[in-house]
Structure 1
Amino acid sequence: MKFSYIGALCVFMTLIAAAQCIPCNECWVVGGTECCDVNIIECPILPEQPELQCMTMSEYCVVDDKELRSMRKTCGNQLCNLCITLTTGHGFNVRASTQCNSTNADLNFTERCNNLTTNGLKCPSCYEKTTDGCKDVGTVDCVQGETQCVDYAGEVQFSDGSVNPLSFKGCIVTGGCDVGFLGLPGSKEIKRTTFNCTAAN
């Protein structure tokens, strides 16, 4: 079995700093809720993140009323045990649920991120298939956990393999702007032209 980059990093850190590692399952399946083809990776426990655990992420986003689902397992990080949400109110929304544990068991827990109630905050909202940005067409009500407004424009590859220009404004979960496109299920950022965040009002 070949060493992964993370595994090699862990070996290197162990040699020079007596770092500890934990083995975690690694997989990513698109369009399903279980990972069957699993690799084992060694996740380094860093001094600034001693609570590192294995993470399972059940996720989906809705693009033009098309639901894109995926399930992934990897090293845990600041995304542990929360709902990752992004709400535009205009045909593009993200809901993902993460859980960190020692067994990395198969879980399907997106349901806990559904039916979220509004929190009284609002953000400018819009959604267009362009990399030039979109103009506000009103506001959207933020839901539980969303305390920031995001303004994004770029080009993104979604979990179905399609590459799309994308511009949106809406509410995003606290800390979501720090995570960036790691919070978009099954997605890969190709190009970014705008990414700004402000406090929701």
Structure 2
Amino acid sequence: MKFSYIGALCVFMALIAAAQCLFTCNECWVIGGTECCNVKNTTCPLPGCMTMSEYCVVEDKHFRSIRKTCGNELCNLCLTVTTGLDFNVRVSTQCGKGDGSNANLNFTESCNNLTTNGLKCPRCYNGTSAEGCADNGTVACVGKEMQCADYAGVVQYSDGSVNYISYKGCIVTGGCLVGFLGLPGTKEIKRKTFNCTAATSTILNLPKLLNL
């Protein structure tokens, strides 16, 4: 009986410790909008809360979505794709620490204010085909875009429309690993190609420029 009592006490104390390690974050998910409604509380294992703001431009359409949830490895990043043509993606992730720390972290387009980083990638865009697209010059990379993406697949945008797309352009480092999981309002239906390679410098012919 003594050992059973001690065992039960240990289990009880462990449950209390586990409960004390849980944190609460605001939770909402609005596809095609920038303001949260029907905000709920969700329990998170880590003391971080996150708000994801998506701003996506496809041809002449602008798509915006917001999601509040538990914090993760995507905290405080700009997840971006730049083609310089008719397809560009900007996702800002903001995080705070402690209970309810994403309550006042609202929609932002801060990832639009990025400067070029001296790298470039081939670019192209085709909004009607998932069979790839031919290079149409190059595009200057911005922010932490240090890789070149080559994508072809079928996606659904926040307005519910399903589109066949192919693009090449700059992508934030690690973007191929995150894929469409980092977009709160866009869903990938089918993927044919998604490859990332290192971006190249915009100053490849420096000796020639200097007449050396």
TM over 0.5: yes
Q: State the identity %.
A: 72
Cα pair 1:58 1:107 within 8 Å, conserved: no
For residues 99 and 115 of structure 1, the distance between their equivalents in structure 2, rounded to whole angstroms, comes to: 15
2:6 aligned partner: none
Q: How far did residue 106 of structure 1 move? A: 3.6
Taking the aligned partners of 1:198 and 1:41, their CA distance within structure 2 comes to: 38
Q: Does 1:68 align with 2:68?
A: no
Flag structure 1 segments of 5+ consecutive residues without an equivalent: 1-13, 46-51
Q: Match for residue 124 of structure 2?
A: 126
Deviation readout 1:144-181 (Å, 9 max, x if unpaired)? 11101111111001001111111111001122222111
Unaligned runs of 5+ in 2: 1-13, 201-212
User: Which residue of structure 1 lines up, in the alignment, with residue 135 of structure 2?
Assistant: 136
**Greater C-alpha Rg:** 2
Question: Is the Cα–Cα contact under 8 Å of residues 94 and 185 in structure 1 kept in the other structure?
Answer: no
1:34 alignment partner in structure 2: 35
Q: Secondary structure at the match of 1:107?
A: coil
Question: Does the aligned pair in 2 maintain the 1:128–1:134 contact within 8 Å?
Answer: yes
In the alignment, which residue of structure 2 is the partner of 1:196?
195
Cα deviations by residue, 1:90-143 (Å, 9 ceiling, x for unpaired): 100011211111321243453421231111100111111211111111111101
TM-score of the pair, normalised by structure 1: 0.82
Partner residue of 1:85 out of 68, 74, 80: 80
**C-alpha displacement of 1:18:** 4.9
Give the secondary structure class of the aligned counterpart of 1:181: helix
- Higher mean displacement: 21-30 or 73-82: 21-30
**Structure-2 residue corresponding to 1:178:** 177
- The answer to whether the 8 A contact 1:34-1:106 is kept is no
Query: Does the residue aligned with 2:45 lie in a helix, a strand or coil?
Result: strand
Query: Are positions 1:116 and 2:117 aligned together?
Result: no
Please state whether the residue corresponding to 1:136 is helix, strand or coil.
coil
Q: CA RMSD in A?
A: 2.0
Which ranges of 4 or more aligned residues in structure 1 deviate by more than 6 Å? none
CA distance in 2, matches of 1:157, 1:68: 11
**How many Å apart are 1:65 and its aligned residue?**
2.2
